Amino acid sequence: MIEALDQASYGTASQVADQQHGELEKTKICGHLKLAGTVKRSAHADTAADRYRKAISR
């Protein structure tokens, strides 16, 4: 689903997820990507990066 599994950075993975799924579908990374190897998406996820994007887009 996300090809950034080798990147442990939450911010980088979050950005990649936003690019792949779009702004409407909120993406939440659960757990350490290298250890978990899974990405769970949640419609209600509101991360700090999402709040920052909303704030600067106004």
At how many degrees (to 10) do helices 10-21 and 48-57 cross? 60
Q: Is the residue at 43 inside a domain?
A: yes
DSSP 34: H
pTM, rounded to two decimals: 0.23
Assign 3-state DSSP to the chain and report helix, strand, coil percentages, each to 5: 45, 5, 50
The answer to the question of residue 14 being in a domain is yes
- pLDDT per residue over 16-38, tens digit each? 666 665 544 444 444 444 444 44
As for how many domains the chain has, the answer is 1
53 lies in some domain: yes
pLDDT-derived band at 57, boundaries 50, 70, 90: confident
**1 lies in a domain?**
no
In the predicted structure, residue 7 carries a pLDDT above the cut 80 = no
Classify residue 5: in a domain, yes or no: no
- HSE, CB side, 13 Å, CA atoms: give it for residue 13: 24
Q: What is the pLDDT of residue 16?
A: 66
Give the DSSP H/E element, type plus range, for residue 56.
helix 48-57
Domain residues for the domain of 40 are: 10-57
Q: Cβ of 41: how many Cβ atoms within 10 Å?
A: 15
Q: Is residue 26 part of a domain?
A: yes
